[in-house]
Structures are given as structure tokens and as C-alpha cells.
Amino acid sequence: MAEPDGPRLLGIDIGGTRSRARLCTGGRLAAESHGPSASLPAAGRDRARAALTALLGDLKLDEACQLDAVCAGSAGLSVPGAREFLHEQLAPLTRDGRVTVVTDIQLVLPAAGLAEGVAVICGTGSVAVGSRQGRTVQIGGWGFLLGDEGGGYWVVREAIRALLDRRDHATAPGPLGDQLLAATGAADLAALHRLVYEQPHRPSGWARHAGLVLDSADPAAAAIAARAAGHVAGLAAVAARELDPAGHLPVVLAGGLLGNPAFRAAACAAVAGALPRAQVSVLADEPVAGAIRLAGLTRAVRRS
């Protein structure tokens, strides 16, 4: 039986770089917390467990009053053991031991109050997921080694490639080079080049410099931003037309890169150009709001 003040719902959004949690009681926000990524592939088991423990600890959960429903949306669920890890950590908090686990991008549409449409995440990586009439498609989301074009890691990698090309042609690094060297602590481009290969499996660590690239006045940065926006539009267009050839499905953009005003405007314009009949918007709330909504829907289904 639920507590008299209403159902207690926990929603968690775990991205490749950061995590956010919300606790709602009786339909009202009771607590919120944020911290580093608790994604198993992004952080490793020990760091992911520590991050999740800290995230939940900041909510100050009442152990005597268990949760009615929990939904966690996480990046990296394709990695073996990732789903099981979240179930193991979260199930003890619930009344019935059941936890809903979805990919982090599946939080975007419900966070926007939509049941159907196309969601595109532009964060550390990039991916689009569309849903219509019970059918779901995913476009992109291949990871930083094989894809994620237009995501934060890709933006920084392309910037470094441009700088290395300048070096090969005996051209000065320019403002972008100076800014990336200062941000990474590399003494020169050779050191920056080595650093990339010394840290090949830390996409989120490199993606945190994406804002620096997008804000740079360097001509190469503007070209990279335009290409990134084009990739975002391409993901949205393929997902939308796969589900609705007429292109009427709404498109919702989310992710850390959209915190950059110029890139946000460029991405929206590119998507609108690729899908002129679609309503294009940027998620106004955090994706974790979608986790709360899905937790509520899951609870409603269980009670019916």
C-alpha cells in the first residue's frame, strides 16, 4: 500500500558524462540530485556504483518508506551486465523489487509530454530514437569508435584533426589550437596527439571540451559546428521518415551540446530544413522528468 501522501516515484537519468535523479511524492518534486556518470561502461563498476550511491544519498531517501516505482534511463545499456547492474543497485529501494530500465534517449519524448515523435540526443555521443504506433526505431548511437557524429566527442576529435592537419601543412595552430592546448594542459600539438592515444577510452573526458570548440572564433570551429548540426539533422530525418514518410512527426532535441546557444540554433535550423513539416523543439525540462513519467506509468499499469 502506498504512503498516505501519495506514491513515491524515483527517476534517474544516467548519461555518458553526468547523472541526475528526482524523487517525487504525491506528484510533487521532493528532492533532486546530480553528479558524475553512473554508467557502467563510461565509469567502470566501482566508480559507477560510487556515483549512484552518492546520487541516491543526496536525495536523503527514507529507508523506512520504500519506493512505489523506479525508472532509470541509462547510456551504455548494450554493454553486457549494464541492465543487471542497475537492477541490483535499485531493486532494494522498491516495494516489489521491480525496476524499469530503458536507454537514456527513451526519456526524452516522455519528458516533453509526447507519446510519439523523434528524440535526438546531442551529448557525449549522438543518437535518434523515433516512436510511432507502437513501433520504435533507433538511428545512430554506435559509440565513439564507430559513429556518434555530431556528438561532443566527435566535435573535439574533429577539432584536433583540424589542428594536426594545420601542423602537417606548416600552418599556425590558431586560436582553436591555443584554446585546446590550454584546456588539456598539453605543451604542444605533439603532446595533444599523444594524449588522445593515451586516453582512448575516455570519450566523456574529451567531450567536455566541446563547448570550448563551439565557442571558438576560429574558422575551423565554425565549420565543425555546421557539420555537427548537419549530422544531427541527418539522424532526425532518417528516424522520422522511417516511421512517417510524410515527415510530420515532432522532433525533440536534447543533450549537453544544446547548452551552446549558437549550436542550438544551428541544430534546430538544420533539422527544420531537413524536415520542413515537423515541429522542432528543444527539451525544456531535464530528461530525468521522462524517467519520473515512465515510473508513474509503470506503476499505473501494475495497479490496473
The per-residue pLDDT for range 25-67, each reduced to its tens digit, is: 888 998 999 999 888 887 888 999 999 999 999 998 877 678 9
Alpha-carbon gap, residue 49 to 299, rounded angstroms: 26
Find the mean pLDDT for residues 293-300. 82
DSSP-derived secondary structure letter, 255: S
- The predicted structure's pLDDT at residue 2: 43
- The predicted structure's pLDDT at residue 98: 83
Q: How many domains does the chain have?
A: 2
**Ordered alpha helix ranges (H), the chain:** 40-43, 45-57, 82-90, 108-111, 152-168, 174-184, 189-198, 203-207, 210-215, 219-243, 261-274, 288-303
Alpha-carbon gap, residue 4 to 240, rounded angstroms: 43
CATH number at residue 245: 3.30.420.40
The per-residue pLDDT for range 94-151, each reduced to its tens digit, is: 888 889 999 888 999 999 999 899 999 998 889 999 999 989 999 998 888 888 899 9
In a domain, 28, yes or no: yes
- The predicted structure's pLDDT at residue 300: 63
Same domain for 293 and 178: no
Same domain for 130 and 259: yes
Whether the Cβ atoms of residue 212 and residue 224 lie closer than 8 Å to each other: no
Same domain for 176 and 224: yes
Same domain for 150 and 68: no
Find the mean pLDDT for residues 72-92. 89
In the block, residue with C-alpha cell 565513439: 144
Task: Please name the amino acid found at residue 283.
Answer: L
Looking at the predicted structure, is the pLDDT value of residue 201 above 80? Answer: no
Same domain for 264 and 125: yes
Q: In what order do the strands lie in the sheet with 18-25?
A: 28-36, 18-25, 8-14, 69-74, 100-103
Name residue 280's beta-bridge partners. Answer: 251
In a domain, 144, yes or no: yes
45 CA to centre of own chain: 19
Domain range enclosing 147 = 119-282
Find the mean pLDDT for residues 160-181. 93
Q: Average model confidence (pLDDT) for the chain?
A: 90
Give the closest residue to 192 by CA, choosing from 218, 211, 173: 173
Same domain for 237 and 94: no
Same domain for 147 and 105: no
φ, ψ (nearest 5 deg) of residue 253:
-100, 140
Residues in the chain: 304
In a domain, 1, yes or no: no
